[in-house]
């Protein structure tokens, strides 16, 4: 991590959303580019949180407050990125599958992807296969992300992929959620899975080569 962003990163990792937004603003005022603040400051800090969560060192409350701090920083940066015509690296549609109302993981991936410069369309929780098909038709994303927390709902991801393919849609699908692993992703015809939201961003980068 870059030393100049130490304090900002500490604020974000500690979940202090007021301080994170203030410091982001003061970096902007002192002339740092929004891209640098994001890529050298905020995103590496979120990756630290993701790794600590994966390793059982921190738990959901810490992740949720860090994500909130990230959002407060993004609220400062997004208008600047838009004004600078910071070009989107690609479009991703995200949703939690039918029968599952859990959205923490999906929201976190959304925050990280937006921070990394992707356009994200979040279609919510409890989404039936048809809703994913409609969203892909409407938004023409480069990648579709499916989320499920429960072992009883994750098999619905296969239903979604099968429905997409039978509708003639070949969009790469990535899948995520606590019980999801690489073997499962491969078995259901997904393009990949990731353990943390930071890893999900890397996966999307790999799937959209120009990004």
Partner 1 sequence: MISIHNLKDPSGPILFDGGFGAALQHRGLTSGTPPETWNIARPEEVRKLHAEFVAAGSAIIESNTFGANSCRWHASGERAPLGLVIHEACRLAASAADAKAVVAASTGPLGDVLEPYGELSREQGKHAFREQYSMLKSEGIRVLLIETMMSLDEALLALETAKEVGFDAVGVTMTFEPGPHGPRTAFGVAPAEAARRLSEAGANIVGSNCGSGFDTMRIVAAEFLEHAGVPVLIQPNAGIPVVGADGPMYPETPESFGEFLQELYETGVRLLGGCCGSGPEHIACAKAALRRHSVGGHRINI
Interface residue list for partner 1 (CB under 8 A): 55-62, 64-65, 97-102, 104, 125-126, 128, 151-156, 158-159, 179-180, 183-184, 187-188
Residue closer to partner 1 (CB basis): 65 or 211: 65
Q: In the complex, what is the shortest distance from the CB of residue 41 to partner 1, in angstroms, rounded to a whole number?
A: 23
Cα–Cα distance measured from residue 16 to residue 19, given in angstroms and rounded to the nearest whole number = 6
Whole-angstrom CA distances from 73 to 56, 79, 153, 190 are: 26, 11, 33, 32
Q: In the complex, what is the shortest distance from the CB of residue 198 to partner 1, in angstroms, rounded to a whole number?
A: 18
Q: To which residue do tokens 């039918």 refer?
A: 98
* Half-sphere CA count of 15, side-chain side, radius 13 A: 11
The order of strands in the sheet holding 91-96 is 119-122, 91-96, 143-147, 173-176, 192-193
Q: Where are the beta strands (DSSP E) in the chain?
A: 91-96, 119-122, 143-147, 173-176, 192-193
Nearest-5° Cα angle at 48, 62 to 201: 105
Residue closer to partner 1 (CB basis): 37 or 67: 67
**Where is 68: in which H helix or E strand?**
helix 60-83
Residue closer to partner 1 (CB basis): 38 or 174: 174
Q: In the complex, what is the shortest distance from the CB of residue 155 to partner 1, in angstroms, rounded to a whole number?
A: 4
Residue closer to partner 1 (CB basis): 92 or 148: 148
Q: In the complex, what is the shortest distance from the CB of residue 25 to partner 1, in angstroms, rounded to a whole number?
A: 23
Buried b (16+ CB within 10 A) or exposed e, 153-170: bbebbbebbeebeeeebe
Residue closer to partner 1 (CB basis): 52 or 139: 52
Residue closer to partner 1 (CB basis): 43 or 58: 58
Q: In the complex, what is the shortest distance from the CB of residue 68 to partner 1, in angstroms, rounded to a whole number?
A: 8
Q: In the complex, what is the shortest distance from the CB of residue 137 to partner 1, in angstroms, rounded to a whole number?
A: 20
């Amino acid at each position: 991590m870059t030393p100049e962003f130490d304090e900002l990163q500490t604020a974000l990792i500690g979940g202090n959303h007021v301080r994170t937004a203030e410091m982001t603003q003061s970096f902007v005022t002192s002339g740092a580019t929004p891209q640098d603040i994001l890529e050298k400051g905020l995103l590496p800090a979120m990756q630290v949180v993701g790794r600590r969560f994966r390793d059982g060192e921190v738990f959901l409350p810490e992740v949720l407050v860090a994500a909130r701090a990230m959002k407060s920083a993004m609220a400062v940066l997004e208008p600047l990125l838009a004004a600078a015509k910071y070009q989107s690296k690609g479009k991703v549609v995200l949703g939690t599958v039918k029968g599952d109302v859990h959205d923490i993981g999906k929201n976190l991936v959304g925050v990280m992807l937006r921070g990394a410069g992707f356009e994200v369309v979040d279609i919510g929780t409890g989404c039936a296969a048809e809703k994913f098909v409609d969203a892909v038709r409407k938004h023409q994303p480069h990648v579709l992300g499916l989320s499920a927390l429960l072992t009883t709902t994750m098999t619905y991801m296969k239903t979604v992929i099968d429905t997409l393919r039978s509708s003639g849609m070949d969009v790469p699908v990535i899948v995520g959620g606590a019980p999801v692993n690489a073997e499962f992703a491969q078995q259901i015809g997904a393009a990949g899975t990731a353990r943390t939201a930071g890893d999900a961003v890397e996966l999307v980068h790999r799937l959209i080569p120009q990004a």
